[in-house]
Amino acid sequence: MINMTSTEAKTHFGALLDIAQRNPVTIQKKGRPVAVILSESEYKAYQQLKLQVLQNDLNAGIHQADQGLLVDSDTAFNGLI
């Protein structure tokens, strides 16, 4: 991943956009990362991955419900304490 200061990103915005087409770019402000710039295709792939993970979790929950493996909310929340 490429690192760039916020000042560099502002000054060289066109170059930032070009670089982001090939690699994610981390923007740092005062030495700490504050943003990551991705190409649109990388962002779409990330969104698709998030959707797939959510679908997998949902399917697992449905499978557990079908198997009668659910617990009530009191039991679930008591396990968190």
Residues spanned by the domain of 6: 2-38
pTM (2 d.p.): 0.71
- 81 is a domain residue: no
Alpha-carbon Rg for the chain, nearest whole angstrom, is 21
Is 72:64 a contact under the CB 8 Å cutoff?
Answer: no
Q: Is residue 6 part of a domain?
A: yes
| Residue 52 domain-assigned (yes or no) | yes
Q: How many domains does the chain have?
A: 2
Residues 45 and 18 in one domain: no
pLDDT 10s digits, 44-75? 999 999 999 999 999 999 999 999 888 888 88
Do 31 and 13 have their domain in common? yes
Residue 80 falls inside a structural domain = no
Say how many residues make up the chain.
81
